Structure 1
Amino acid sequence: MEEQDTVQFMGQLHRLSHRRITLLSSDYKTRQAISASRPVGPEREGLESYDPVGDYAFATLSEAEHYVRLHSEALQVDKSFWHGRANVRSARAGTRFELLHAPWVHTAHLRGQDHFLFTQVHSYGINNLESGAALLDADLTTRLQLDHLDPQVLAEAQRSGFAQQFNAVGHNQPWRPTLADGTGQRLNPVATAHGPQTAIVVGADGQTTAGSGSPLHCDAMGRVRVRFHWQAEDDRGACWVRVGQALAGQGFGAQFLPRIGQEVLVHFINGDIDRPIIFKALYNGRGEGGVAPTPGGAPGQSNLAVYAKANDQRPSAEANLAGGNSPAWHGGGGGETQHRNAAALSGFKTQGFDGQGHNQLVFDDSDQQGRIQMATTQAHSQLNLGHLIHQAGNYRGSFRGQGFELRTDAYGAVRAAKGLLLSTYAIEPHTPAGDASAAQALLQQQRDLAARFDLAAQIHHTVPLASHRGVHQAQLSALIADQAPLQALHTSLSATVTGERLAQASADALKRDSHHPIPHSADPLLTLSARDSIAKIAGQSLQWTAAQTLTLGSGADTHLATGQTLRLHSGQAIAALAGAQQADGIGLALIASAGAVDIQAQQSDIHLSAQDDLKIISIEAAAQMAAGTTLHLAVEGGASLTLEGGNITFACPGSIKVHAGKRQFSGPSRSQFGLPLFPQSVCVACLLKAARNGAPYAQLQ
């Protein structure tokens, strides 16, 4: 039994631990990472403790260095410390003491280590009552499960009534506490969240309804404010919370921001309750036509009559009876007399800030009725693909057709800088998209037709076809410099490209090569081909304009019918060739059922020639022939009649016979016949205007 308080045993413990500690934190706003590193003890190489402390944990580098020093000192305390047994009744954690007569005073590396700081003290006392109380103490010892006590300390306490075990560090060594649960060495760890929570998106003043203002309250980073359900309704201390998106990048990504009043699911980064992030949005409340809450999950009743009010143009059952947010599409009214929707609709639907219009992308997965709709209520603009039906909200309406529909109540435009193909010829799904083989075949038929009739025009001495021969000169067109228009069009339409590399394909298109596997027009052509017929119908006017050639061709008949006037104007020649292939029936008919037929050659001659008879007949009036100088009638045998000036000359190699009931020859007489007036000079102003506009001809005067 000691006469005074003493330390009975004391020794130094060393543990294998980290020799370097590194802390790292990142800030998403500055897109910077702040890192600080420090050795643990005198050794500088070895195991490293890497501790990610969460987002924006440090404001500056000096703050990070401060915390890494505290962390290092805490690890050093756990790495090297003193352990002992004593019966010092005044020992308390945090107090200093001096150890007298230490046995290591003569050890070189421990000399001078006689002042210490208690960091942990476990005291154990046993009373000295009678045997019955001693049995109680033994039972309490078992119940307390004091297995962590040194057996020698427990034995000393049972022998003398009091004993201790302690940990201590040198008085000049900084001491930092470590957490009892072993989660780390930080002095004040942040509060942790044990899972996600739901919250309501609020406005600038904490309101959960948009009112007359904007339904969206966010900052430049797309963050919104939320209020958790455990916060008071008048709590305006909501912080900005980032919104998780499906994709986020510099100038690209997805953007779906929850609006004021929506319920959202909030996760916490690294479980840190001060680092919330919005993960998803949630529907809530009770939709119109839904089942009311019932005790214990008992069956409830729904008002299904609201579903029957919908039709092709009017939705129904879109309200929320609890003031919440109902889904745009659902399977609540799947019956044929209801919404006819077995939860087959999915997609995206937005809402105008004024609550009136919307945009939507709908995927309809109904059996054998697949459909996609991309639509906006602005001008009722839509792209519908697949099984086309009417849709009003959640209601799947009546059938409208199959295929695709692109519609709008406003203006529409289709543009393709490299070319556009519109065709009613079907192709296999694996066929290249630009396949225009059907259009090429039809165009080749037109080339053959033009070649035949150009040859006919040459044989019959009429105007050749520029679309086959060339514009201005042989084998010339604006599309391809050394090919006529129809041939150039066929060459460009028949071009192909390689399917290996995009850059090579672009180069191949310019070469107009037709030996590659992928069809691709070489020029920006608009190709319109139909397996059956094409109808071009206009309520008012229809204009066809071409800078070079306009070719109309048909394998059978071509009909031009107008309700009033048909006009053909040409800067050079108009040629009409009929009967080039067969001469049965009428070759060329010009008939005016009412009004006059006026044929003029204002600057040159008119030639009327016939292989057989040439007839000029007036049924009910006169047939007149007039000339400005000479009128000459002759036959191949040599007989002729010439009217020239004031003279009439009869000439014949044979006889002249005159048969008349009465013959009378009077003196000189003169009869005036009015000739038509033709323009004689070029209109200079018209000529200059034609030159500026590139017109092929100018007006005469």
Structure 2
Amino acid sequence: HERYLNDQTRLSGKSSCATLAPGQELKVSGGEEVTGTFREGVMITHLHSRARRDRSFEVAFHAIPYLEDYGFRPATIARPVMAGTLPARVTSTKSSDIYGHIDRDGRYRVSLLFDRDHWPPGEESLWVRQARPYAGDTYGLHLPLLAGTEVAIAFEQGDPDRPYIAGVLHDSAHPDPVTIRNYKRNVLRTPANNKIRLDDARGKEHIKVSTEYGGKSQLNLGHLVDGGKQPRGEGFELRTDSYGAIRAGKGIFITADAQMKAQGQQLAMEPATSLLRRAQNLIAGWESVTQTHRNFSPDMDTLKQFVEKADQMKKPVLLMEAPEGIGSVTPESILLHSGNGLYMQSIGEVSIASEQRLSVNASQAISLLSRQEGVRLVSAKGPLNIESHSDILSLTSLQDVTVQSTQGHLQLTAKNGITIGCGGAYIRLTPQGEIEIHGPGLLSLKGQHNLQGPASEDFQLPDLPSSVCKECLKRAQELAQGFVPRDA
């Protein structure tokens, strides 16, 4: 403001007085030709004197009123202007620093290449900002520069006191990751070889995201190649030499159905839901069959709930579907566990085979029902045992029942008796060793008869194991009993 007033109020005059000097107060007295400003006094700000042989000495001066309202302010001296950029290198206080040396504001120290003075490492300059393509309040793009990286230093409005890193340069010691050898690629690579690569080779486009940790972890998309640019597949690959996990809090849908050119919704699952509904209807169709044959009916409520949850991922479920089949193989073990219902449904055949033993257990009951071609239980080698450890064993047939032993002995034994009956006639073997043969009609005995005195033979019956039911254990716990009888 004061400099503006200086420029607004300018006084000038000429004199032959050789003692005038800038900064002096000058008061001029005289007649009416002298203005009041000069009578009150002025302060000389500029002098220009000249003299020649043919002229007298002359002084031309400029002045401002000598008042408190006017404070002399000399004209500003123009700063030096730095045009263009200067080459420099990023520095660090650590030798061979593998990380960027920056301060809390993300600034760097640089060494200007023309500076021949010796400075402590990392103190060659004040902290210098870096210009970036994207920046904001705690967001932006910042790839830290390592010591030795060549940079171009520019200056704000050419002010040498306000330098900044305008750009980063490659050189012979720090070659560019994209050269004539791979000019079709767009590469972002960090010093630790974390990499994002986008290959624009027409017809062979691919994207690779890679890190060296865990051996090597990669996401490969499109035309897949190896380190020698040789094809090794197409599509996508997510791989790692370490652990892997797929997690989705609202559900996971894995399908092999095509969705060309990414057209369609993410959860387009019409083929999968159609198969789910079909399986549900087929299992429901067994309900009437099992009721007719007095077998156990499937639990349709649990299955219905699952189908509703899986449709459009209404609940966090895992659903897999493929139009040409799904395989799950391992040289070790496979575990299938369900906390509620486990359903296996096939329109074709179901084959279950084991090179060793096959065990089927149920806490409540096991039901086998064949609708058309029958049920076969075959032991190619070794005994075939059918046992009921705590209840009856019932064999019922609409037609003939055949019990045969092609090379052995057929033995029927019972603790409380055996009865064979037909048409009102029966043969009964009692626990007391008596034999009753009764019939309403003819009793025909043919063959040689050898009647001797009484004789007997003991038949050892096996001891059948029994288990303690969960209800018995709970009841014993409530009664604080230490022992539970097996026949409870």
Q: Distance in 1 between matches of 2:472 and 2:426?
A: 45
Q: Does 1:122 align with 2:48?
A: yes
1:171 equivalent among 57, 66, 80: 66
Q: How does 1:481-630 map to 2 (within 5 A)?
A: 484-494=301-311, 520-578=312-370, 580=371, 583=372, 586-630=373-417
The residue number in structure 2 matching 1:349 is 189
Report the Cα distance in structure 2 between the residues aligned to 1:403 and 1:652, rounded to whole angstroms.
82
Name the SS of the counterpart of 1:253 in structure 2.
Answer: coil
Counterpart residue identity of residue 201, structure 2: S
* Cα 1:686–1:189 shift into 2, 3 Å: farther
Equivalent residue runs for 1:34-113 within 5 Å: 72-101=1-30, 103=32, 110=36, 113=39
Distance 1:442 1:566 in 2: 29
- Partner of 2:149 in structure 1? 262
Deviation at 1:78, TM superposition (A): 0.8
* Letter matched to residue 643 of structure 1: L
Where structure 1 has 5 or more consecutive residues not aligned to the other structure, the ranges are: 1-71, 129-159, 180-187, 286-323, 334-340, 353-357, 469-483, 495-519, 692-697
- Structure 2: tracts of 5 or more residues without a match: 478-483
Query: Deviation of residue 374 (structure 1)?
Result: 0.4
- Contact 2:82 / 2:155 at 8 angstroms: preserved in 1? yes
Give how far 1:679 is off: 2.7
Aligned partner of residue 406 in structure 2, secondary structure: coil
Residues 174 and 369 of structure 1: CA distance in aligned 2, closer, same or farther (over 3 Å): same
Q: 1:280 to 1:650 in 2, by over 3 A?
A: farther
CA distance in 1, matches of 2:419, 2:3: 132
Q: Is the 8 A contact 2:177 2:187 kept in 1?
A: no
Closer, same or farther: CA 75–633 of 1 in aligned 2, 3 Å:
same
1:446 aligns with 2:343: no
Deviation at 1:122, TM superposition (A): 2.9
Q: CA deviation at 1:204?
A: 1.7
CA distance in 1, matches of 2:142, 2:485: 63
Asked if the contact 2:28/2:38 (under 8 Å) is kept, the reply is no
**Which one is further off, 427-436 or 82-91?**
82-91
Cα contact 2:427–2:437 (8 A) shared by 1: yes
Higher relative contact order (CA 8 A, sep 6+): 2
Distance in 1 (CA, whole Å) between partners of 2:113 and 2:437 is 123
Q: 2:273 is paired with a residue of what secondary structure? A: helix
Note the 1:163-242 alignment, pairs <5 A. 163-172=58-67, 173-179=70-76, 190-204=79-93, 210-211=95-96, 213-232=97-116, 234-236=118-120, 237-242=124-129
SS at the partner of 2:64? strand
- Residues in 2 aligned to 1:114 and 1:627: alpha-carbon distance in whole angstroms: 148
| CA 1:680–1:574: 2 relative to 1, 3 Å | closer
Q: Are the aligned partners of 1:346 and 1:362 in contact in 2 as well (CA < 8 Å)? A: yes
The aligned residue for residue 205 of structure 2 is 370
The reply on whether 1:465 has 2:298 as its aligned counterpart is yes
Where 1:274 maps in the other structure, the secondary structure is: coil
Provide the C-alpha distance between the structure 1 equivalents of 2:404 and 2:12, rounded to a whole number of angstroms: 142
- Structure 1 pair 382/418, CA: closer, same or farther in 2 (3 Å)? same
1:465 shift after superposition: 0.9
- Displacement of 1:456 in angstroms is 1.2
* Contact in 1 for aligned 2:221/2:237 (Cα 8 Å): yes
Opposite residue 227 of structure 1, the aligned amino acid is S
Shift of 1:113: 4.7
Cα RMSD (Å) of the superposition?
2.6
Q: Is the 8 Å Cα contact of residues 96 and 115 (structure 1) preserved in structure 2? A: yes
1:699–1:405: structure 2 CA closer, same or farther, 3 Å change rule? farther
C-alpha separation between the residues in 2 aligned to 1:686 and 1:539? 41
Identify if the C-alpha distance between structure 1 residues 102 and 623 changes in structure 2 by more than 3 Å, giving closer, same or farther: farther
- Provide closer, same or farther for how the CA distance between residues 266 and 553 of structure 1 changes in structure 2, counting only shifts above 3 A: same
**Is the 2:98–2:146 contact (alpha carbons within 8 Å) kept by the matching residues of 1?**
no
AA partner of residue 235 (structure 2): G
* 1:602 CA displacement: 1.1
Q: What's 1:314 paired with?
A: none
AA in 2 matched with 1:256: L
Q: Give, in angstroms, the shift of residue 553 of structure 1.
A: 0.9
Secondary structure of 2:62's counterpart equals: strand
Return the offset for 1:190: 4.9
What is the aligned partner in structure 1 of residue 195 from structure 2?
360
Secondary structure (helix, strand or coil) at the match of 1:123 reads: strand
Distance in structure 1 (CA, Å) of the matches to 2:315 and 2:244: 24
Q: 1:532 to 1:88 in 2, by over 3 A?
A: same
Q: What is aligned with 1:659?
A: 446
For residues 414 and 94 of structure 1, the distance between their equivalents in structure 2, rounded to whole angstroms, comes to 83
- For 2:456, the aligned partner's letter is R
Partner of 2:338: helix, strand, or coil?
Answer: coil
- What is the number of equivalent residue pairs in this alignment? 471
What is the TM-score with the length of structure 2 in the denominator? Answer: 0.90
Q: Which residue of 2 aligns with 1:135?
A: none
Matching of residue 390 in structure 1 with residue 390 in structure 2 = no
Tell me the secondary structure at the aligned position of residue 438 of structure 1.
helix
Work out whether residues 47 and 60 of structure 2, in 8 Å CA contact, stay in contact via their aligned partners in 1: yes
Task: Compute the displacement of 1:81 (Å).
Answer: 2.3
Contact 1:330 1:345 in 2 (8 A): no
* Equivalence for 1:480: none
Which residue of structure 1 aligns with residue 481 of structure 2? none
Q: Which residue identity does 1:120 align to in structure 2?
A: H
**C-alpha spacing 1:555/1:593, structure 2 compared with 1 (3 Å):** same
- Counterpart position of 1:278: 165
Matches within 5 A, 1:411-426: 411-426=243-258
Q: Which residue of 2 is the match for residue 319 of structure 1?
A: none
Looking at structure 1, the residues matched to 256 and 465 of structure 2 have their Cα atoms a distance apart, in angstroms, of 51
SS in 2 for 1:227: strand
Describe the superposition over 1:525-571 as per-residue Cα deviations: whole angstroms up to 9, x where unpaired.
Answer: 10100011111001100110000111111111111111111110101
Task: Indicate conservation of the 8 Å contact 1:243/1:257, yes or no.
Answer: no
